[in-house]
Every structure is written in C-alpha cells, then in structure tokens.
A and B are shown apart, each in its own frame.
Chain A
C-alpha cells in the first residue's frame, strides 16, 4: 500500500481499543497519524479519500521492551559487522507478531563489546522494513552476581563508585539507550540510579537480591520498573516479600506506578503466578518476550551460535537436556497466553503489551494508544487475538496470507 500524501484513510466499523474499552468506532488517519474525524468534518469539511470495512479488533501496536534476538540471531553474540543485519532481521520478522516498536536488548557483556555494538544500534523509525527501534535495553552488567541467571559471571560488575559516570565508561555513548536494568544494592547503585533517571533513561530493577525496602528506595530515586518479575530476584516470602512486594505497594505507598515485565510464555512463569502478579497490580504489567534467537523457528533441532537447541512446543532446551535456554514465545502468543492464564479482559491483555510499555518509556502521547494525533501504529486482530495485519505510520507493513483482511488501496 502506498498512500498519497495527505490522503485520509478511514477504517470503519472497527472495534478500537481506546480509553480502556473496545469501542465500535471508525479509525481515521492521515500522514501516519491518527486524526480526529470531527475536526476534519467541521474544520476542513472533508471526508475520507479511502474507506475500508474493517470489522476487527484494532489494538495499538505492541511494544516489546525486552528482546534479545530471534529468528536465528542473538544481539549480544553479534559483532560490529553483524549487529546491523541482526537487528534488521528481527525488526522485520516481529511485524508478523504485531510488534511495531521494540527495545533491542543486550545482556551482560564486556565494556569492549558495548563500545563495539552500541554505536550501530540507533533509534530508528519503523516501516515496511521493520518495527521502530525505541532505543536499547541494556540488561547488566551492573547486577548481583548471585542473581546473574544466564549472564556471564566474568563480565558482571558489582560497584559503581562514580555513579552514572561508570555507565558511560562501561557502555560508551548512551544516546540511543532507553532502558538499563540494574541491581540497586550495588555499591553506589542508588546514586547511579538517581543520576540515570535524571538523564531520562528508564531504570529497571533486576538481577538483584534487593529486599522490599531497598527496592522502594530505588523507586523513590527514580527507578520505574522491575525486569522479568520473579526471575533473577529473591523468592517471595510472606515475611520478607523481596522486590516482588512492590507490586502490592505501588498503588498504596505514594509511589508512582511501578511497572514490571512478565514473560508470559507458559514456561518461565506459572499461570498462577502470572495471575497473582496481575491481580495485585494490573496497571503495571508489561508483557515482554525476553526472546532468544530461537524465537520464530518451528519444532525441531536448530543450531544457534554453535549450540544445538531442541524446540518442542513452547520450550527451547539445550538438546538432550532439560535446561531451558530462553523464551521462544512471540508477543502475540504471550498476549493470548496471558489472557487465558489471568482471566483478564482482552483490553487489559492488549494494554499490557502496548499502553503500559509506552507509559514506562514516557511516549504514550504517540505510542501505545490510538488517541487522536498518535502514530498510526496498530494491529488488526481477530476475536482470538491472532494477528491479521500490522500497520506502522498508517502503512500496512504485514498481513496474513489466509485472512479475509484486505488493506486499503489508495
């Protein structure tokens, strides 16, 4: 679809996710933005140039703030020469899963690697070539050694004597970084968190042994999120809830909304656990894939970075073992699983993959909603939340083969 500049497009009879409800409404757009048809009618006295019947659910485009790779590539394993094509491959292929913007994620690495990779991953607009890059998510290396998970111990750093300056030294230029996952209990961690937050970088707490008081202190200092809740943090205990306890307090304790990432792949977090977290703090839930390179492959044996991986159903295991080696669930599948596991509404499931991550990143004026003047990034879905088509800036960038959805022609 190649619409002329200034062409007004109207999708009518949709069920649009807007203001917390699926509204039977028309979606109007022009030049890549959602527009107010009432203003068009009375001010410009114009109607649509292109009209299309679209009796489907329309959700804001999904935003994945934690994705390590997929479709055979792993960002952290890249070099200066391969990172560009790896990001390009992933951003193109996640369109089929409704993801219209994302934060490529690099996990704990050596300073040399950060200096090598980071300059090659810039914020970039989306389109037919792929989802918008919202900036990097750097997960580590400032994390707790005891909670390192699959991160490489030799690269973990445990002190920040110079505050945020240490981030600059380790990572290099942070101009295209949106999120940093950090453990607040590290020496100098609190000061660093405060400084990062002031610079406009979103701080997420994770790979940490922090108790609830320490985590609260970090929130007061400007941290806004918890990385893959329940994973790589203290287990919930009724007398010592740990960082997890924040989900029960963020609404009560005069804290601003604390967000938390959830991997709803049916493997990493038990459905009962998803339900507990979600029920405690529905407005903070953010669905992430935390996907590894095997995401997007069918069942069978794959070789990734020299390791033989066996994919069966939702599981990616190191072949011949029972060792999980990351999430391979796509965003649309996570949403469907989350919906079923938590008994939430369709609206709440979709907002957890769109509105909430946009709010975390402070971009909900243009992403994560279908309000007037937002970017026309959206997903067309059937009643069971299967993706029929994906739009970025008003342009159909992906459509399913076996659907009766036909994008508007100009």
Chain B
C-alpha cells in the first residue's frame, strides 16, 4: 500500500488528476487497447474531475479510448433527478470530455430486473478486460461505494439497502425530507473493486480521519469495508492533512518521508522513454 499525504483538498484533487492522467498517457490507449477506469461520485472526487476537464481542455488528455464504470447508483430515482449519479457524472464530467457515450457505463437503478442489471455490469467489466484503475472515495464509516459496514469483503455488484444513517445523511440533498431519499442502491461489491489492477482511494477532511485510521492501521474487517484494500497488491490511499488526524505520528512521518518518491508518479516525463520506465518501475513496487 501507498499512502500519499498532501496539504489539502485542492492538493488531493490535483494529485489524483495528475495520477489518472499519467496512467492513461503511459498506457498509450488506442482503438484496440482501451484504458478502463472505475469512477466514484460525491464531493471528494469533484475537484479531481474539474482538474481532469482542465487537462482535457488544454489538449493534454483525451478520453476517446477510455472506458469508464461507475461504482453505484440509487434505485428508483429518476435519472434526470439532480441527485442521481447519472446527473452527477454528466454535469461534472462527461459533458465536458470527449468520451464515447458507448464507453461510459453506469448501473441503471430503474432497470426492470435489478439483479440482472448487476450481473450484466459484472459481465461488461469482464468484457472490457477488467478495470485498470478503480478510483474510490469512502464514507465516514469506512464504506466504499455502497458497501456499508458488514458488507461481505468478497461481494459482487448487487442491490443494497442503505443504512439508516446514510439515508438521514443524504436527506440534505433531498430538501431535508427523509421520505424522498432512495432507500436502495445498486453498487459494485468490495470484490469487484478488489479485482481492479490498481485502486486509488481519496480521503479528505477531519470527519474521515477515523475511517482512514481503521482502513490502514487496524486489521482487515468487514465493519470498515475499505480496510479490505490492505489485501490488494496495488492500492494507493490519497489524503489531505486533516484526514491523518487519527493516524500514528510514526505512520504519517514514514509516508511523508516517501512523498518525493510518490511525486515522481505524477511528474511529466522530461525524457519520455526513461521517464516511462521510471514510472513503470515505481508503479510495480508497493
């Protein structure tokens, strides 16, 4: 595991976007070689999307040969609803970039047969050759996607009933009316994300500090589902200073000492061939 600690939210946004950009460019995607990206929604990754759009506008990055798979979507919420994850992805990312709509995959929370929809999603991921880089955020209770406490750590894409706490927390997006908040969601499983070749988890803010501590300093535990990624061969936790408040000083110091190494992962290659090999070398060690 890597832990990258940067100063603040905007630092996380920029580092994450640079990393995604670097990975896509180094992959050299093309018509017969698509880069597959797993994507989250929410306020944490929003800054990263903004940066990625900037890179695209500046002509540095194209999504023409990128396939995306989103983590989750509410069940029964109209797709056009401003809180749907379709709306989020459209307004904050897809409409600004050059991705082919055929390559943007989102779970349909209004599908007639939800179980089938979930199975189909798993098949689509397989068909795309698996996910190269899955990006996730976590909740204060350490959930990844809608894999809330107690979710199986080998779970696959499925229908989940949301925890009461999540529903109450989400009411602020639905006019503070709890009855309007969807009570179910479709979500990729912990196992689905574990299958990705690389996982990057974004964590910002003091309210997520406990979750980060549970994720990396305690044992693997299904009550903090994000802790499962301790078992992943290539995982990267990217956080701001506030999110480290519950970590041991020793942990923080150790990883901050490595920042110059980690920063090489996102630097532009001065000398392309040598740079690529450097990044490759770095990205294989953990």
A38-74 CB contacts (< 8 Å) to partner B: 38, 40-42, 44-47
Cβ A42 vs Cβ B95 within 8 A: no
CB within 8 Å of A: which B94-139 residues: 94-95, 100-102, 104, 106
Question: Cβ of A38 and Cβ of B101 under 8 Å apart?
Answer: no
* Contact in complex: B79, A42 (CB < 8 Å): yes
A116 at the interface (CB under 8 A from B): no
Chain A residues within an 8 Å CB radius of B80:
38
CB-CB under 8 A from A44, the residues of chain B are 101
| Closest chain A CB from B107 CB (angstroms) | 12
Q: A37-B95, A38-B95 are contacts. A46–B101 as well, Cβ < 8 Å?
A: yes
B125 to chain A, nearest CB (A): 17
CB–CB A47/B95 < 8 A: no
Task: Assess whether B27 is interfacial by the CB under 8 Å rule.
Answer: no
Query: Of B79, B95, B101, B104, which one neighbours A26 at CB under 8 angstroms?
Result: B95
Select which of A26, A38, A45 is within 8 A of B102 by beta carbon.
A45
Output the residue of B79, B80, B95 with the most chain A CB within 10 A.
B95
Which residues from B are CB-within-8-Å of A40? 101
The residue of chain B having its C-beta at the shortest distance from the C-beta of A42 within the complex is B86
| Closest B residue to A46 using CB positions | B101
Contacts of B100 in A (CB 8 A): 47
In the complex, A44 Cα to B102 Cα: how many Å?
9
Complex Cα distance A185/B106, Å? 64
Bound-state Cα–Cα, A45 to B90, Å: 12
Which residue on chain A has the smallest CB distance to residue B79?
A42
Taking a contact as CB atoms under 8 Å apart, the answer to whether B95 and A41 are in contact is yes
Number of interface residues of B (CB under 8 A): 12
Which A285-316 residues have a C-beta within 8 angstroms of B?
A: none
- What residue in chain A is nearest B104 (Cβ atoms)? A41
| B183: interface (CB < 8 Å) | no
B87 within 8 A of A: yes
Chain A residues closer than 8 Å to B94, beta-carbon distance: 41
Least CB distance, A185 to chain B, in whole angstroms: 50
B240-256 interface mask toward A, CB cutoff 8 Å, 1 = contact, 0 = none? Answer: 00000000000000000
Question: For residue A40, which residue of chain B has the nearest CB?
Answer: B101
Complex interface bits, B201-235 against A, C-beta within 8 A gives 1, otherwise 0? 00000000000000000000000000000000000
- Determine whether the beta carbon of A42 is less than 8 Å from that of B90: yes
Considering the chains assembled together, what is the distance between the CA atoms of A41 and B89 in angstroms? 11
A33 to chain B, nearest CB (A): 18
Residues of A within 8 A of B87 (CB): 38
**Which of A37, A38, A40 counts the most B-chain CB atoms under 10 A from its CB?**
A38
Interface residue ranges, A against B (CB under 8 Å): 26, 37-38, 40-42, 44-47
Interface of B with A (CB < 8 Å)?
79-80, 86-87, 90, 94-95, 100-102, 104, 106
What are 24 A-B residue pairs whose CB atoms fall within 8 Å in the complex? A26-B95, A37-B95, A38-B80, A38-B86, A38-B87, A38-B90, A38-B95, A40-B101, A41-B90, A41-B94, A41-B95, A41-B101, A41-B104, A42-B79, A42-B86, A42-B90, A42-B101, A42-B106, A44-B101, A45-B101, A45-B102, A46-B101, A47-B100, A47-B101
User: Can you add 13 more A-B contacts, CB < 8 Å, to A40-B101, A41-B94?
Assistant: A38-B86, A38-B87, A38-B90, A41-B90, A41-B95, A41-B101, A41-B104, A42-B86, A42-B101, A44-B101, A45-B101, A45-B102, A47-B101
